[in-house]
Structures are given as structure tokens and as C-alpha cells.
Amino acid sequence: MSQAPEVLAEQVLADSMAAAGLKDFSVAAVLGSGLGAFADRLRDPLVVPFEELKGMATSTVPGHSGRFVLGELGGERVLVQQGRVHLYEGHSVHVVTRAVRAFDVLGCKSLLLTNAAGGLKREWPVPSLMRITDHLNLQGVAPLRPSEVGRGTPYSVELGAILDDAAKECGVPLERGVYAGLMGPSYETAAEIRMLDQMGAQAVGMSTVAEALTGDAVGMGVAAISLISNPAAGISSVPLNHEEVQEAANAYADHFAGLLELGLPRLANE
């Protein structure tokens, strides 16, 4: 029986990554809007733009550089994905999660997802960091195949504890909460934010949930962090915009990078 087109596409991407030297790593991190500068902390980096790889879609969103960077961090080989593609850009859920599946083909064991998100907790400072403990998938699609079984919450308790410990060691406050993933690209209305608050969300964004579900389904340990870059609609009187997201990421870049520099290599050994 021939393989499904999406299965062939992820194998093609994995083969293309390996041919470009992007292999032999046990932990990968996907960096969201404005967070790509962390890749500069990798030693002896190998940089490969998305467009040089077969099967890897490129993003049209500012703050998503569109590169893979493989390097050494804390004695571990770490792959960093600078930027991602989104459902709201017109991509299917298979395309959005293709890189995660390619990581699995290449032997990756742990996956750290990051994003910029709007915050629903008025008492949290902006910007701040939140470890995702669970999510609400409100994007209307699921990435799993008929042969795959969702196991509930995809976020690893063990990997989460590692990040909590790393945050304490480097003195970076790390909140915990539920992330609501919506389709986008429009920001939520104040009424929608009130609904999400009643549903138990502490942060809202337009990515991550499909990648997390996929990583868990293929057997990787998954952890995720949101940069709370702005108050959600109805909490702040200032209109939301993407420039605000990037400014917040820049303002909190050292805190974010310090946490990942300490915590990411430890995820490789779990």
C-alpha cells in the first residue's frame, strides 16, 4: 500500500534536513513571534533557511525568520526553529505540523514550543512568561491521523518540572496556565476574551496546539512556554497590534533566553 502524501512529505523534509546537516539532535525548540534571537546563543551554529529544504513552508508573518539553527548548548546538540507557519496563512494542519513530524523521523526525543500570547490575568505583569500546562484547541482542526490516539493533555509534567526548576535557578518568574489556541489572524474581541476567561484560559494565541498534539502523538516529550506580550482585548484600552508583540519580545529577550539556555539542554536528557 502506498503511503499518504503527508507521510511522504514529512519524510522528504526529514531527508532534506539530514542532507543539509540538520541531524543528530535529541531536543528541538520552535521559537514564536519575536523570540528567534535566542538562536544566537548556540555555539558553532549551522544555519539553514526554510526555503533551502524540500517540503518546508515559509512564513509570511513578521518576527518569524524562517531558519533552522543547529548548534551546541550546555553540552547538547540543539535544533532551533526560528519561526513557524500558521493555519491563518492558508496552510493545512499537515503543513503546520510537518516539521514536528520530521523532528521525530530524525530521532528527536523532546520538543519545546514557544509563542507570544495575549494575557487574561490582570495581575500578571506584561511582559511575563507562562509555562503551558494545558490548552483549549479552538482552531477547528486536529492534526492526528486515524492510527494515532490523543492521550489527553500533551504537555509533559516531567519536562514542565525541569523548566520550573531552571526558572528558579536563573531567577526568572514563570507563571503556569492554560493556553487557548484560536485560528486567527484577527485578534479576539473583548466578548471572546470574557468567554475564554470563563473557559479557564490564562493566555490566548494562534499557534502551538497542533504542534503539541502532534509531538505527543508521535512519542516526544512536549513542553511549551508563552511570552505574555500584551493584555488581551478588553483588559487594556490600547488597540492590539503585532508591533506590540515584537516590542515585548525584545524587552524580555534576556529573561526568555536565560531560561531556555539553562533549561533546554536538560530537556534533552529526560
Taking each helix axis as running N to C, give the angle between helix 242-251 and helix 253-267, from 0 to 180 degrees, rounded to the nearest 10. Answer: 70
| Whether residue 116 lies in the annotated active site | yes
Exposed, middle or buried: residue 16 (CB in 10 Å: 0-12, 13-18, 19+)? middle
Q: Which of 86, 94, 135, 255 is catalytic?
A: 86
Q: Which of 26, 33, 128, 229 is catalytic?
A: 33
Q: Which of 65, 156, 207, 229 is catalytic?
A: 207
| Whether residue 269 lies in the annotated active site | no
| Whether residue 207 lies in the annotated active site | yes
| Whether residue 167 lies in the annotated active site | no
| Whether residue 237 lies in the annotated active site | no
* CB neighbour list of residue 152: distance below 8 Å, 6 or more residues apart: none
| Whether residue 89 lies in the annotated active site | yes
Q: Which of 20, 37, 88, 270 is catalytic?
A: 88
How far is CA 225 from each of CA 18, 131, 178, 193, rounded to the nearest angstrom? 27, 4, 11, 20
| Residue type for position 159 | L
Q: Which of 18, 91, 236, 242 is catalytic?
A: 242
Q: Which of 28, 56, 64, 257 is catalytic?
A: 64
Q: Which of 17, 29, 59, 89 is catalytic?
A: 89
Q: Which of 212, 230, 233, 257 is catalytic?
A: 230
Q: Whole-angstrom Cα distance, residue 101 to residue 180?
A: 23
Q: Which of 206, 210, 232, 257 is catalytic?
A: 206
| Whether residue 86 lies in the annotated active site | yes
How is residue 67 written as a grid cell? 531558519
Q: Buried b / exposed e across 240-263, counting CB within 10 Å, b at 16+?
A: bebebbbebbeebbebbbbbbbbb
| Whether residue 91 lies in the annotated active site | no
| Residue type for position 65 | S
Q: Whole-angstrom Cα distance, residue 193 to residue 256?
A: 26
- Please identify every residue annotated as catalytic: 33, 64, 86, 88-89, 116, 206-207, 230, 242
